[in-house]
Structure 1
Amino acid sequence: MRKIYFIALLLLCGNLYGQGLPGLGAGTTPNNKPILHGKNWVAITGKPLGATAGAAIFHQGGNAVDAACAMIAATSTMWDVLSWGGETQALIYNPHTKKVIAINALGYAPTGATVDFFKSQGMNNPPQYGPLAATTPGTPGGIMTMLAEYGTMSLEQILKPSMELAKGYPIEAQTANAIEAQKAKIKDWPYSKKIFLPHLGKEREAPEAGEIFVQEDLYQMLSKLVEAERNALKGSKSRKEAIYAAYDRFYKGDIAKEIVRGTREQGGLFTEADLANWKVKIEEPLHVNYKGIDVYKLQEWTQGPALLQSLNILENFDLKTMGYNSANYIHTLYQAMNLAFADRDFYYGDPAYVKSPMKGLLSKEYAKARAKLIGDMNDPKITAGDPYPYQGGTNPYLDILKKNQTKVASLSPGQINSTLDEQFISDFQSGTTSMETADAEGWVVSVTPSGGWIPAVVAGNTGVGLSQRMQSFVLDENLSPYNLPEPGKRPRVTLTPSLALKDGKPLLAFAVQGGDSQDQNLLQFFLNIVEFEMDVQEGTEAPNFNSYQMQSSFGDHEIRPGAIVLRKDTPEWISKELAKKGYSLEFWNKTSGPINAIWFDWKHSTFWGGSSDYGDDYGIAW
């Protein structure tokens, strides 16, 4: 009997941390949340009320794009680690063209935002908070462009849930407590203080959990967008033209004027021309093929291609044989991610200003060369490679690259910091939200909107909280000559929605919150599904790990070589083996932001939705 029990225990441990045992089949592991099964549609996002907004639009006959737009608007209104002055980026699968579309609605640096300007202010990096941290608002333009080009409903219809929320909704504890924790900063900005601190002078100045939180200025701003659309429709404009009339009112009309006035009053740099000249870009996404699956990401103004690079590198290893979350598996993924992220740190930026060598970076030959650098021990001195020869070119920044390589190679063990302090972790994992939608017609949307999180500067009497995305620029060309600020340039951001297609049809839509950890967690989730045959909910809840051997995109852009965070239930023998390989280990109860995903069951023509148990994220399917 003891022998049988021991064998069963070994099989269980093998399933969790060794061989994977995919033959057991999907659904055998008990999940903390149920799978969302749908025939008609799925809506998943960062807050239950946000998912409810998407469900309401679906029930009115909207498609997945309509629902996604309503969910972005609702979560922005709820300050779910973003607001209306933040940024939106999306991947959309169009069932009629069978193509994936990329939406770039990231704001850019305003007039006067240069390296010299920030250094003249005594800064080594752009600030994390305040009016000088703000790029121009992108989310309103992103919502309206997506809706106009690929949706079916009016702006008024998709804004109705967010307008109801702006008139007053029971605020959640997470947001209410974040306001209370940040109230000292919020008091620096008069328009923010007016909205966020309704109980000034009392012990708790923020709203209480469950209290009705009212945003009258934001409601009036949204009403102006609806008014502009209505007037255009009365003037015989088409649905699309009417939505763009609202777009123009936000970026060129009275709303823009108030945003600029209110921002400059508080020390910001915005001009009316900055808003008027900004445009949403509809782009071609980047993609690679991993074992017959086409994986799509946004261009290199996001960190998304790092996941594609990681997959190219990992194709050179037999991951399944290593076993799920074995020490060798974790080590191999950690090293592959470090190689990809070292390239991200140096080469990624706004391609409209400095063209990154993406052809070389995403080539299979370059990936093979990078894979050969992975040995048996952690390499704390990994730096960016040179992909230019793999696209038939010459590296224009070879001198900087070689200088960095020489500097890192000369570091002594005592000069390499692999410890994790609270502020570094907070900056590294700065959250956002994500949303996934799909419908029976075939539309699929994956979005990772962000920006304007608490504490946010509110732009005058608009209720619009401004982005903090300027901090993702660097001021030192040795860190990245591709990501230096200048007016009109977009910073390289962490935001990274994902779509995967197989045989030309959607297989997975997936995204996660969590700053620089996003593509680490998404890579592991994708491999959970593809290599270890987990179902979508198992894949979102499964143990993962985080590397900190790449520059933080926030704060001081620091790096912690060899630092790794594992889930607390990691077996001791795996921890010991990783320590022997040179890793500095920490253990947490939860090691990922909330992963949201949809898996497409083409055998039964249904949807499987997954949302991890790591946060407030929630979904609804029908």
Structure 2
Amino acid sequence: MKKITISLLLLLCIQSVLPAQRKERTEKPALHGKHWMAITGKPLGATAGAMIFQQGGNAIDAACAMLGATSTMWDVLSWGGETQALIYNPNTGKVIGINALGVAPTGATPEFFKDKGMKHPPEYGPLAAVTPGTPGGLMHMLAEYGTMSLAEVLAPAMEMARGYPIEAQAANSIEKYREEIEQWPYSREVFFTHPGEERVAPHPGEIFRQHDLLNTLEKLVKTEAQALANGSSRKEAIYAAYDRFYKGDIAREFVRGCQEQGGLITLEDLANWKVLTEEPVTTNYKGIDVFKLTSWVQGPVMLQALNMLENLDLKSMGYNSSRYIHAIYQVMNMSFADRDFYYGDPYFPPEEPILGLLSKEYAKSRVKEIDWEANDPNVKPGNPYLYQAGDNPFIDLLKKWEGSAVDPARQTPEWEEQFKKDFHAGTTTIQAADAEGWVVSVTPSGGWIPACIAGRTGIGMSQRMQSFVLDARQNPYNVLEPGKRPRATLTPSIALKNGQPYISFAVQGGDTQDQNLLQFFLNMVEFDMTVQEAVEAANINSFQLHNSFGEHEIKPGELLLREDIRQDSTIAPTLERMGYKLKYESHTSGPINAIFFDWQNGSMWGGSSNYGEDYGIGW
């Protein structure tokens, strides 16, 4: 008996000094692949990527096929939306950025919308549209980094345009937004497959056909074929199709259909727009280089947050302890306050203070502002100009800056539902990687249901103009101006370790994107989760930042937690005492899609959240 007791005591002592081992069952299995990995927002979209891989395409080819397929499926985006991507090039060992975000059209000025009594550009309709970026982004990526023809990578999308069984999510969205769609004749014709019936939208599983879109895609493919027949190279032929879209008959019909319905986009707007290849911004977190697109999206907020969190011992706090949640919430709020004041299109003056924002010293100064006993409902932007050359040109606006907190009297159940929908505004994500070493992370969006279709192109126009502000007091870097890109929420991510791909990851969900990606990254790096555990793990969301959609309002102190946190008798009461207003949902992870590169075993692990309809295939 004495020996047994000693053995038990020794076992308990050993367990007390060993790090906690997570043995969490996941609802979905991790994906495994040696040759390639294709993950996106819908099973049919992932299948399109797998088809291209099986035909010998590389990760760029597969990503373009998934982009075309998901756009055709209205997977919370369409062909008239915007595409932003990070690509790891194994031949150079570099990460590059792709900027295919549309711009504000001619005539889109603050005065134009203010004269209509609007505080922001509208949420839906032709006046919400920036120029389409996804067609150009797809063709640019394919021409520069792919190996296949446009005809080959668009084949799945074209087959779907001929008719595919529509998913319940898209079909039910059409029915939900029938009143909005009713306003636009070309949208009615496409979406209302049962006019005059009680349900005008397609039924889930119904074969949904898009003849005008198919005609547009066929024009692109025919242009490529003609160019090849005339002796053009693969790249030249793809760019010939690009020119037909932005400068030819497709452009003319797009503009006609847009303007007929009250939109502002001109032929010159389309002809002058172009895809930009950029150098991404980056920071190093404990030996891991994390890459993001720069200030025309919200991506740098994650890098700012990592710079701050590097000064804290997160692991000792414990995963999702009250102290950990408080730390993450406060750091995110400071990062997003900077986003709300300093982020905008870097191709328009004034120049964003990105060097100061990503300064490690700036991060240290911000961490010192945290009140560890209570939430600060009045977090303001900092002054990154103290950590880079130059003076802050908007110091007076900064001193007067206030968040647009919502009036409590307006918070009816209907308002809450709309705010939540706007805040979590969906998109899709695309993750692709191959054995050669190409890695692609894409967060395309725009033109989601209810979309206003531009004439006989079959293309739903973007709604991204609503992310501009009309008043410099809200964000002097993101004031609407013709030719300018709105500061978007879309944020693909790639991380390298020891100079090699470590994780490729992205998530849909509007202003929650970099909140969820930050926690996913920490789940893997700080808490040793597998990629599938990390994409399913419980995240928190802050609403103490300006909504990028709708009325751009802010809800100080509101905190979203996953339902199972209620089971802990200490966390919720502690957070409430600190001034948090708690909300709960059954899933709070994203949905996140990711690829982890297992260099020790020469394989890839794919992760896709148990939240939503995201899906992946590996081989």
TM-score range, shorter chain: over 0.9
Distance 1:137 1:236 in 2: 29
| Aligned equivalent of 1:546 | 541
The correspondence for 1:378, drawn from 375, 393, 408, is: 375
Unaligned runs of 5+ in 1: none
2:256 & 2:220 partners in 1: Cα distance?
A: 19
Query: Using the alignment, how far apart are the partners of 2:17 and 2:75 within structure 1?
Result: 35
Q: Conserved in 1, the CA contact under 8 Å of 2:543 and 2:559?
A: yes
Three-state SS of the structure 2 residue aligned to 1:334 is helix
Q: CA deviation at 1:310?
A: 0.3
Residue 542 to residue 408, structure 1, CA distance change in 2 (3 Å): closer
> For 2:597, which of 582, 597, 600 is the aligned residue?
600
| Whole-Å separation in 2 of the counterparts to 1:487 and 1:311 | 34
Q: 1:328 to 1:218 in 2, by over 3 A?
A: same
**Secondary structure in structure 2 of the residue aligned to 1:608:** strand
> Structure 1 segments of 4 or more deviating over 6 A?
411-420
Q: RMSD value over aligned CA atoms?
A: 2.1
Could you tell me which amino acid in structure 2 is paired with residue 361 of structure 1? L
Following superposition, the deviation at residue 24 of structure 1 comes to 2.4
Give the Cα separation in 2 of the matches to 1:517 and 1:389: 29
Q: Distance in 1 between matches of 2:406 and 2:255?
A: 49
Unaligned runs of 5+ in 2: none
Amino acid at match of 2:478: N
The residue aligned with 1:136 is 131
Letter matched to residue 370 of structure 1: R
1:419-457 superposed Cα distances (whole Å, 9 cap, x missing partner): 982111111110000010000000000000000000000
Number of aligned residues: 603
For the pair 1:366 / 2:362, whether they are aligned, the reply is yes
Which residue of the partner structure matches residue 307 of structure 2?
312
Shift of 1:593: 2.6
1:391 aligns with 2:382: no
Q: 1:572 and 2:569 equivalent?
A: yes
Aligned to 2:474: 479
Superposed, 1:509-588 pairs within 5 Å as: 509-570=504-565, 571-588=568-585
TM-fit CA distance, 1:95:
0.2
* Amino acid in the other structure paired with 1:594: P
**Distance across 1 between alignment mates of 2:313 and 2:61:** 41
CA, structure 1 residues 412+93, in 2 after alignment: closer, same or farther (shift >3 Å)?
A: closer
Please give the secondary structure, in 2, of the residue aligned with 1:307. helix
1:356 and 1:196 map into 2 onto residues whose CA distance is 41
Provide the rounded CA distance (Å) in 2 between the counterparts of 1:22 and 1:606: 26
8 Å contact kept, 2:535–2:590: no
Maintained 8 Å contact 2:536/2:589: no
User: 2:606 matched to which residue of 1?
Assistant: 609
Identical-pair percentage: 65
Distance 2:249 2:416 in 1: 45
Supply the distance in 2 between the matched residues of 1:416 and 1:201 (Cα, whole angstroms). 36
> 1:392 Cα deviation (Å)?
2.3
Residues 568 and 253 of structure 1: CA distance in aligned 2, closer, same or farther (over 3 Å): same
After superposition, where does 1:347-366 map in structure 2 within 5 Å?
347-354=342-349, 355-366=351-362
- The residue aligned with 2:192 is 197
Is the Cα–Cα contact under 8 Å of residues 514 and 592 in structure 1 kept in the other structure?
Answer: no
Cα 1:325/1:379, change in 2 over 3 Å: same
CA contact (8 A) 1:53 1:70 kept: yes
Q: How much does 1:188 deviate?
A: 0.2
CA contact (8 A) 1:432 1:451 kept: yes
Are the equivalent residues in 2 in contact too, given 1:192–1:457 (CA < 8 A)?
yes
Question: Which of 474, 494, 503 is residue 498 of structure 2 equivalent to?
Answer: 503
1: CA distance between counterparts of 2:17 and 2:543?
26
Which residue of the other structure, out of 608, 616, 621, is the alignment partner of 2:618? 621
Measured in 1, the distance between the counterparts of 2:458 and 2:480 equals 27
Q: Separation in 1 of the partners of 2:605 and 2:242? A: 35
Deviation of the 1:262 alpha carbon: 0.3
Pairwise CA distance, 1:393: 1.5
CA deviation string 1:435-485 (max 9, x = no partner): 100000000000000000000000000100000000000112111000011
Q: Is the 8 A contact 1:418 1:561 kept in 2?
A: no
1:403 Cα deviation from its structure 2 partner: 1.3
Output the CA distance in 1 between the equivalents of 2:175 and 2:411: 33
Whether contact under 8 Å (1:168, 1:213) holds in the other structure is: yes
